[in-house]
Structure 1
Amino acid sequence: MERETRGTKLLRGDPTKAIVKLSIPMMIAMLVQTIYNLADGIWVAGLGTRALASIGLFFPIFMIIISLAAGIGVGASSVVAQKIGERNKKGADFAASMSIALSIVTGLIGIAIFLPTISSILKFAGAHGETLYLALEYSTILIYAIPLIMFNNVANGVLRGEGDTKRAMIAITVGSFLNIALDPVFIYVFKFGIRGAAYATVLSIAFSSFLIAYWLFFKRDTYVSFTLGWSGKILGQILKIGIPASLAQATMSIAVYVLNIFTVKAGGDSGIAVFTSVWRVINFGTVPLIGMAMAVTSVTGAAFGERNIEKLETAHLYAVKLGFLIGVSVMILILFLAPLIAKVFTYSQEGMEIYNDLVTALRILGLFLPGVPFGMFTSSMFQGIGKGLQSLIVTIMRTIVMQVFFSWFFVFVLKTNLIGVWWGIVLGNTVSAAITFVWGRFTVKSVKKMFQTSRSS
């Protein structure tokens, strides 16, 4: 018998209310996670530059693991939401169960791949001597935890898929705060050093996973129930969305890597210092938008499953309008506060040398934010309606094609130096956002025709 929960009622109700109520918990969760990432770096920095470098060397590999886990989580969230919209309880149960099983299997494969190869990967990245030793100490612990990382992300995606973003937020927030608290204890009190940072991360993920497992498997007051069974069709739907979502996240890292190269060419070490600092501020500004994007996937997925084009269209457009207002507001704050923000990164005598460049970069890259919702939320809508390939294409277009191309053109063709990288990123994002949004509108119209044709046949 189907059990109605607060989340499923939200997903099946007014899409504007659903977008707001599902977005707020995820915005909070993303904010706390951002604070944790900052605090984690600060605690490790106390061990010295080699320790900080060792984590930096493993970071791209860790992001690949997280990208795969988050991608499967997006696939699980989308398919569960679609089945809820269809009022297909058995299908939602299968989607949740198979997603969890897939996360564990993928995690075990991850251990088998990375454990014997991690030393060679780190050496190829330039690690040697004490830095390599520290990187191996840190990374080996996290590699053994890959199944846990996979489970945590995918199970969180299942909760989001059934509209339970409140508990998804609680799991992320509790885990992040626990990590912040455990870092100094394990690193400095227990004197585990770099291993302490890894232990703190694993234990915080384990506790977060325990909370989700308790809700899903023991308390059992969620919409989905877990069952043994197999559906190749549902597995295909999860992978059709999840694999492109994973690849899309990976392309973002590739794009930043290439933009780093352009920045070094245009501005040297001071240029990369400016880019690294400003991009952290811009990423912080996108936190509420990322939270909303997760809600868009669930709400449009439920509307698609319900075959309700009005709800689907309303959810997409309302999210874009609200996200645009948020983007403009954050942009205005950055424009006015740029001198103060720049001082945070230039309080040392050496840092003052890049102060003016930081202010300029903040004011240009702040213009990046208003265009983000048009592309990001349309990409999330594509994921919600099962068009994972389209979501991947628009992400590649924004990051690899547009931003990289325009930055290259400004720096190497027009010879605009460092400022060309900033304008290239802004212009590339604006052009790709416009194309993506128009594509999204045409897609909604084609879905509408598909629904009408199926009703008449």
Structure 2
Amino acid sequence: MTENQEDKNNTAKSTQGVKTLLSTPEKAIRKLSGPMIIAMSVQTLYNIIDSIWVAGLGSDKLAAIGLFFPVFMIIISLASGISIGGSSAISRKIGAKDKQAADSAAGHTLFMGAAAAIFILIFILPFLKTFFIALGAEISVAELIAAYGKIIVGGSAILIFNNIAGGILRGEGDTKRVMYAMSLGSVLNIILDPLFIYTFKMGINGAAWATLTSMSFTAALNFYWLFIKKNTYTTFKLKTLKLNKKITSEILKVGIPASLAQMSMALAIFIINYFIVISAGTNGVAVFTGAWRIIMIGLVPLLGISAGVTAVTGAAFGARNIKKLKTGYFYGIKIGIITEILITTFIIILSPQLTYLFTHSGNTAHISEIMQKTLIQLALFLPFVPAGMFTSSMFQGIGKGEYSLAITIMRTLVFQILFVWLFGIKADFGLSGISAGIVTGNITASLIAFVWGQLTIKKLKINYQKPKN
């Protein structure tokens, strides 16, 4: 088979998403990021509304959600790690115009997701209550967390499948369908939350059942696209899937570090929550949980842009086009910084109204003032996030998952914990010191990561002077 014939076979099933992925980096990032930003905005809106409904049940219920969050992050870390690894591999294969390898990467990603689901059901589900009691939570709160968590963890296979399906679609540039699937689940959750929590009088467990129900509808839609309609760029049959060591290695080289990076964030939240309990008690955890939920809104555009940066830099690296890779990387950082400056200003100005969302009931009104102060402090690091986050995304795109992991560990477990301990515990500044530590740690790590990213691109230019023919 000639090179032209092979190229024709590899690109015969080109889709609009693939065409976008291979277009100019600025255009590609805008088109890929837009749907992801919308989807994540809707999802974050759900998270906020969910917290508002739970906050109406009392500060102990809100604290229970906050304490369970790191466990949820562990589950997400396994799912998103495999998803990111598969997505990166698919993008690189598309950039290299190797459709057969892209198909194989998609199949391997699904297989690994199934293995992760089995692991979670065996090693996490049975030990929830014991774990939180060991962490130091009051028995009543630990029982709340365990009851809520068993529902979420029990449905983890559905959650993992949705993450894997989203990763496959992102990898081939089809972020519109990712948007449709994520938005469907989030909107359903928004509708079901008050019904399950209050109308059906299921309390905090109702929030979990609403989440599981909405995730099931999303999974059904993803299953239809991948296995019934079959109009995606990548195609695969699990029955005929042959495990390939090279493909497996490429996915795991990005996926394992991505999972460990997510777990390091979960561990950091565990440690921070522990410091908060010491310095401010359960109310302090409720304050931080509410403020952090709002900060997550500020990060939503970056998460969307990040997905675009990973896909575009991955495809550019697959084509050995380092100029395109650099352009996409710096363009993402530029629009990210501008966006976060605007968001930070917005959060500071509207901080009273935003904190009211979590302190509207008589059970939580007493933490309103301190939550507003904490929110303003935490918002200050947002404009510095793009430099670090998109460097990590670029590293994932080029298959350097270990570099991305190093950035995350440096940010979460080194600088962030160091400064949180220094300001919050050692200097005894309490919750304000903990917020200051988070801000200082994130800014320091982002600046170091940005320098590392530039040095890496310079090395790539030396190794790949010309685009691959």
Give the TM-score of the pair, scaled to structure 2: 0.88
In structure 2, the CA distance between the partners of 1:247 and 1:417, relative to structure 1 (3 Å rule), is same
CA contact (8 A) 1:57 1:125 kept: no
CA contact (8 A) 2:321 2:468 kept: no
Amino acid aligned to 1:440: G
Aligned counterpart for 1:422 among listed residues 432, 435, 439:
435
CA contact (8 A) 1:8 1:163 kept: yes
Deviates more, 1:180-189 or 1:78-87: 180-189
- Report the identity percentage: 48
Question: Who is 1:183 aligned against?
Answer: 193
Question: Who is 1:208 aligned against?
Answer: 218
- Equivalents in 1 of 2:371, 2:199: separation in Å? 37
Aligned counterpart for 1:34 among listed residues 44, 51, 61:
44
- Equivalents in 1 of 2:251, 2:122: separation in Å? 23
Residues 1:441 and 2:454 aligned together? yes
- Equivalents in 2 of 1:106, 1:403: separation in Å? 29
Residues 1:64 and 2:63 aligned together? no
Aligned counterpart for 2:181 among listed residues 168, 171, 193:
171
RMSD over aligned CA atoms reads: 2.9
Residues 1:112 and 2:119 aligned together? no
In structure 2, the CA distance between the partners of 1:448 and 1:220, relative to structure 1 (3 Å rule), is same
Deviates more, 1:194-203 or 1:395-404: 194-203
- Equivalents in 2 of 1:347, 1:42: separation in Å? 8
- State the Cα deviation string for residues 23-63 of structure 1 (Å, max 9, x = none): 11111111111122233334445666776666555443222
Structure 1 residue 101: Cα displacement: 1.2
- Superposition pairs of residues 21-420 of structure 1, within 5 angstroms: 21-44=31-54, 55=65, 58-125=68-135, 135-190=145-200, 195-227=205-237, 228-265=241-278, 271-345=284-358, 357-412=370-425, 416-420=429-433
- Equivalents in 1 of 2:362, 2:127: separation in Å? 42
CA contact (8 A) 2:18 2:173 kept: yes
CA contact (8 A) 2:121 2:153 kept: yes
Structure 1 residue 449: Cα displacement: 1.7
For 1:286, what is the secondary structure of its paired residue?
helix
Amino acid aligned to 1:170: Y
- Equivalents in 1 of 2:42, 2:329: separation in Å? 26
- State the Cα deviation string for residues 402-446 of structure 1 (Å, max 9, x = none): 122223333455555544333322222222111100100111111
Deviates more, 1:300-309 or 1:406-415: 406-415
CA contact (8 A) 2:39 2:180 kept: yes
Structure 1 residue 211: Cα displacement: 0.9
Amino acid aligned to 2:400: K
For 1:321, what is the secondary structure of its paired residue?
helix
Q: How many residues align?
A: 456
CA contact (8 A) 1:108 1:146 kept: no
In structure 2, the CA distance between the partners of 1:103 and 1:188, relative to structure 1 (3 Å rule), is same
Residues 1:452 and 2:465 aligned together? yes
Amino acid aligned to 1:429: N
- Equivalents in 2 of 1:48, 1:267: separation in Å? 17
- Equivalents in 2 of 1:422, 1:143: separation in Å? 30
CA contact (8 A) 2:313 2:394 kept: yes
Amino acid aligned to 2:412: T
- Equivalents in 2 of 1:426, 1:132: separation in Å? 30
Structure 1 residue 189: Cα displacement: 4.7
Structure 1 residue 185: Cα displacement: 3.6
Deviates more, 1:46-55 or 1:426-435: 46-55
In structure 2, the CA distance between the partners of 1:238 and 1:225, relative to structure 1 (3 Å rule), is same
- Equivalents in 2 of 1:397, 1:414: separation in Å? 22
In structure 2, the CA distance between the partners of 1:343 and 1:196, relative to structure 1 (3 Å rule), is closer
Aligned counterpart for 2:24 among listed residues 14, 29, 32:
14
Instruction: Structure 1: give runs of 5+ residues left out of the alignment.
Output: none
Structure 1 residue 300: Cα displacement: 0.7
Amino acid aligned to 1:35: L
CA contact (8 A) 1:50 1:130 kept: no
- Equivalents in 1 of 2:31, 2:163: separation in Å? 21
- Equivalents in 2 of 1:433, 1:142: separation in Å? 33
In structure 2, the CA distance between the partners of 1:122 and 1:366, relative to structure 1 (3 Å rule), is closer
Deviates more, 1:342-351 or 1:288-297: 342-351
- Equivalents in 2 of 1:105, 1:195: separation in Å? 27
Question: Who is 2:5 aligned against?
Answer: none
CA contact (8 A) 2:81 2:258 kept: yes
Amino acid aligned to 2:211: T
- State the Cα deviation string for residues 59-105 of structure 1 (Å, max 9, x = none): 43222111110111111111111101000100100000110111112
In structure 2, the CA distance between the partners of 1:270 and 1:49, relative to structure 1 (3 Å rule), is closer
Deviates more, 1:277-286 or 1:260-269: 260-269
Amino acid aligned to 2:440: L
In structure 2, the CA distance between the partners of 1:411 and 1:65, relative to structure 1 (3 Å rule), is closer
